[in-house]
Chains A and B, each alone.
Chain A
Amino acid sequence: MQISEVVSLKEGTLCYHCGDLCTGGLDIRDGDKHFCCSGCKTVYEILNENDLCKYYEIDRNPGISQKPLDKALKSRFSYLDDELIIKQLTGFTDGNISVVNFSIPQIHCSSCIWLLENLHKLNPAVLHSEVNFLQKIVNIKYKTKELTLREIVELLSAIGYEPQISLSDIENKVKYRSNKSIYYKIGIAGFCFGNVMLLSFPEYLALDGRLEVYYKQFFGWLNLLLGIPVLFYSASDYFKSAWGGIRQKNINIDFPIVLGLVVLFGRSVFEIFTGTGVGFIDSMTGLIFFLLIGKVFQSKTYDALNFERNYKSYFPISVTLKRSGTESSIPVSALKTGDRIVIRNNELIPADAILFSGNANIDYSFVTGESIPVQKVAGEIVYAGGRQSGPAIELEVIRTVSQSYLTQLWNKDAFVKNDEDKFNSLVNVVGKYFTLIILIIAAAAFFYWYPASLRTAINAMTAVLIIACPCGIALTNPFALGNALRILGRNKFYAKNASVVERLSKIDTIIFDKTGTITKTGNAKITFNGSVLSSYEQSLVRSAVRNSTHPLSAKIYNALETAELYDVQEFSELSGKGIEAMVDSRIIRLGSASFAADYRDVLKRTGKKTGSTYSRIFLSIDGSVKGFFVINNIYRSGLEMVTRSLKSNYVLKVLSGDNEGEKENLLGYFESGSDMKFNQSPHDKLEFVKKQQLQGKKVLMVGDGLNDAGALKQSDVGIAISEDITNFSPSCDAILDASEFSNLSKFIGFTRATKHIIIASFVISIIYNIIGVMLAFRSEISPMFAAILMPLSSVSVVLFTITSTNLISKAKGLK
């Protein structure tokens, strides 16, 4: 019997609010409208009361299912009454009116925008609310005297848009991410470039006549005036970068660019002042304009994604503190060792603690990618990052938030280092030699002509520096990488920036995390070992597990989807053991071996010692053991394809936080057992990556959970696999949508091809430079010539890189 979890597309009633199938037998309705749960109905009622039912007209079933949330708790947001937290969260305030931004990941359709922008109808004290759909942020302006921050959050939660308020929001307020200064710079450069071109036209046409000298002077001065803001404002980043490079005794590609710009400007100033020519302001402004366009093209950003998340983005702001019987809400940063805290259903444990009382059922999927919760009993240590599912538990904090097992990882130096420092881009390597050669040629030109005349010597030298300005090389990188970034983005591989594409092309070792990365999260294969269950027995089991809240029960329930349901006469759930139910006068026990079955019987059946690597759920009916359910991980479809195609070119390794249970299965995909490491802590993973790098390997880490965060950060490229890209991912260089996992090898192959395109493009632009420099060396250079050669080389390089990256992506079968 093998039943995988498939959502049945049975004809059924869909929830009017969220579009989920109404199951569970209960008929929750309001008139002719059906709802899947009372949560959805409540939201509908609120909207209905306030004439906001247009919400349902804009998009069909726009709501968010309210099922999993425990809305009952009013005190949940009590920390928002704290003056300090209010101050840290709100942006602008003048005492009467405050502005606050909330990040609301649930925003998904136009109905959401409409409703959130009509908040003033729900509460008149909201003056204005505006949604940024792509970044999933709502900006709310409200009257401070009539409405508190807590009331806003409660209002949003009531209509199903609970804001995500995390620890990192305290340190950095939620705000729109944007880069205005590059647009200012482009605007000014474009304006000046256009006008300078216009004013340079007479020179291109070489108009002769009486008036020429007069105009030449006038246009020259005007050009100079227009060139100043471009050089000193628009190009300021290049100056900074070149200077930064020199200070670190490292000449980057920006150095020859800046050198070219300065010489262009200097010679233009000289020519215009002495009246000997009109200068090269047109070439200079054009070059800067194109470079800035390249920069914008390269800096493709994904609004909805965030690559810089750390644990603080997921940890709550506050926690319920219990002191001498009374509960109060305090910021987690104020937690001290020895504090007693209360964690309710669905709340995250912020610090390592000892379970004091209650039944802990902790879901570490956040940390490890493992979706099956771990049961803990009083006295055991519970690590930070887990999510409690079930009734409230009481914990005693043993380590503060920043010193906890998981969060300590962020104190490592891998998190202090800057990404860019680790990597020397090809263009900068080329730039270094390029600069050296150009300086030598320029000096040679000077000394060659010096015996003839000083003037010709200076002319020849500046001409070399102007013509050799590596605009083609400088434009190659942004356009090739920027286009590659876009192509990858279309295929749901979202890289943080262009440098990731280049770094990815250089890797030689690939390390995979196991749980959640090469296995599928929340989708396990359930098999039953033992005597075959009759359909009657299946019905008994299905009915019994229906009442249980344990996630494994839900899995079994779904696996037996064809079975009929019977009434359950008695039901009890024993935490840490299993469930016992009476169905059709038969006693069903499901759970651990000792609970559901006789131990010796188990040994006889499995033929193995216990301490098994799988999660086993034993089943007994009326005291006789029928067998056990095994929950196995399913490997992602395409894993075989990925490993097969990567095996020949890369060293593949697996790092797993789990035990060796899956080793045999993994051997089918990976070459030998020596490349697999099990029982790895987050620190071990980080150290392992570091060790590989010390051996000179370029490491790509593919992971998913917060426990991989260290390794992802340390590696040369860290890719996070995510089922829901907008929701959760540890800080990384790239986010890969889980559905596209099978294309991983294509993506890496594509980045390699991009690298070759870049090299080819460098060759093309160097050929242009050689031709130009040969002419310049003979001192034969006119502004006209420069004005033609520069755009020609730039445009051909841009066209070449964009067409060839597009062609290669087609050839590789990418969208």
Chain B
Amino acid sequence: MSVIVLLIFFSLLVAGGFLAAFLWAVKSGQFEDKYTPSVRILFDNEKESTK
């Protein structure tokens, strides 16, 4: 019986972790620009040429 209480506690903990991740993502501005990163990722990383 009490194992269910324990399970619920852990499930809430895990779900809460995801909630925290989501809130962090919003806060860090990941939802502000939904287009540019999709272009940026296609640019090749060039080797830092002799400078």
Q: How far is the CB of B49 from chain A (nearest CB, A)?
A: 6
Is B3 on the interface with A (CB-CB < 8 A)?
no
Q: How far is the CB of B36 from chain A (nearest CB, A)?
A: 4
Instruction: Determine whether the beta carbon of A178 is less than 8 Å from that of B32.
Output: yes
Is A103 on the interface with B (CB-CB < 8 A)?
no
Known: A51-B49, A178-B31. A58 touches B43 (CB 8 A): yes
- Chain B residue, CB-CB nearest to A176: B32
Instruction: Determine whether the beta carbon of B23 is less than 8 Å from that of A187.
Output: yes
Contacts of B46 in A (CB 8 A): 54
Is A211 on the interface with B (CB-CB < 8 A)?
yes
Which residues of B, 3-47, contact A by the 8 Å Cβ criterion? 4-5, 8, 11-12, 15-16, 18-19, 22-23, 26-27, 29, 31-36, 39-40, 42-43, 46
What residues of chain B have their CB less than 8 Å away from a CB belonging to chain A?
Answer: 1, 4-5, 8, 11-12, 15-16, 18-19, 22-23, 26-27, 29, 31-36, 39-40, 42-43, 46, 49
A54 and B44 CA atoms in complex are apart in Å by: 10
Instruction: Determine whether the beta carbon of B19 is less than 8 Å from that of A188.
Output: yes
Instruction: Determine whether the beta carbon of A184 is less than 8 Å from that of B26.
Output: yes
Contacts of A183 in B (CB 8 A): 26, 31
Contacts of B40 in A (CB 8 A): 113, 117
A215 and B23 CA atoms in complex are apart in Å by: 31
Contact string, A200-243, partner B, CB cutoff 8 A, digits 1/0? 00000000000100110010001000000000000000000000
Instruction: Determine whether the beta carbon of A191 is less than 8 Å from that of B19.
Output: yes
Instruction: Determine whether the beta carbon of B19 is less than 8 Å from that of A187.
Output: yes
Is A110 on the interface with B (CB-CB < 8 A)?
yes
- Which has the most chain A C-beta neighbours within 10 Å: B1, B5, B18, B39? B39
- Which has the most chain A C-beta neighbours within 10 Å: B18, B33, B42, B49? B33
User: 20 A-B Cβ contacts within 8 A?
Assistant: A51-B49, A110-B42, A110-B43, A132-B33, A133-B33, A133-B39, A176-B29, A176-B33, A178-B29, A178-B31, A178-B32, A180-B26, A180-B31, A184-B26, A187-B26, A191-B16, A191-B19, A195-B11, A195-B15, A214-B1
Is A135 on the interface with B (CB-CB < 8 A)?
yes
Instruction: Determine whether the beta carbon of A187 is less than 8 Å from that of B22.
Output: yes
Instruction: Determine whether the beta carbon of A184 is less than 8 Å from that of B49.
Output: no
Instruction: Determine whether the beta carbon of A110 is less than 8 Å from that of B39.
Output: yes
Chain A residues within 8 Å of chain B by Cβ, number: 30
Instruction: Determine whether the beta carbon of A134 is less than 8 Å from that of B1.
Output: no
A180 and B22 CA atoms in complex are apart in Å by: 12
Which residues of A, 110-163, contact B by the 8 Å Cβ criterion? 110, 113-114, 117, 130-135
Instruction: Determine whether the beta carbon of A131 is less than 8 Å from that of B26.
Output: no
Given contacts A194-B15, A199-B8, A214-B1, 20 further A-B contacts (CB under 8 A): A113-B36, A117-B40, A131-B36, A132-B32, A132-B33, A133-B39, A134-B33, A134-B35, A176-B33, A178-B32, A180-B26, A180-B27, A180-B31, A187-B22, A187-B23, A191-B19, A195-B11, A195-B12, A198-B11, A218-B5
Contacts of A132 in B (CB 8 A): 32-33, 36
Instruction: Determine whether the beta carbon of A222 is less than 8 Å from that of B23.
Output: no
- Chain B residue, CB-CB nearest to A58: B43
Contacts of B18 in A (CB 8 A): 191
Q: How far is the CB of A269 from chain B (nearest CB, A)?
A: 21
A198 and B14 CA atoms in complex are apart in Å by: 14
- Chain B residue, CB-CB nearest to A183: B26
Contacts of B35 in A (CB 8 A): 133-134
Q: How far is the CB of B12 from chain A (nearest CB, A)?
A: 6
Contacts of B8 in A (CB 8 A): 199, 222
Q: How far is the CB of A92 from chain B (nearest CB, A)?
A: 14
- Which has the most chain A C-beta neighbours within 10 Å: B4, B18, B26, B29? B26
A198 and B15 CA atoms in complex are apart in Å by: 12
Q: How far is the CB of A45 from chain B (nearest CB, A)?
A: 18
Q: How far is the CB of B3 from chain A (nearest CB, A)?
A: 12
Contacts of B33 in A (CB 8 A): 132-135, 176
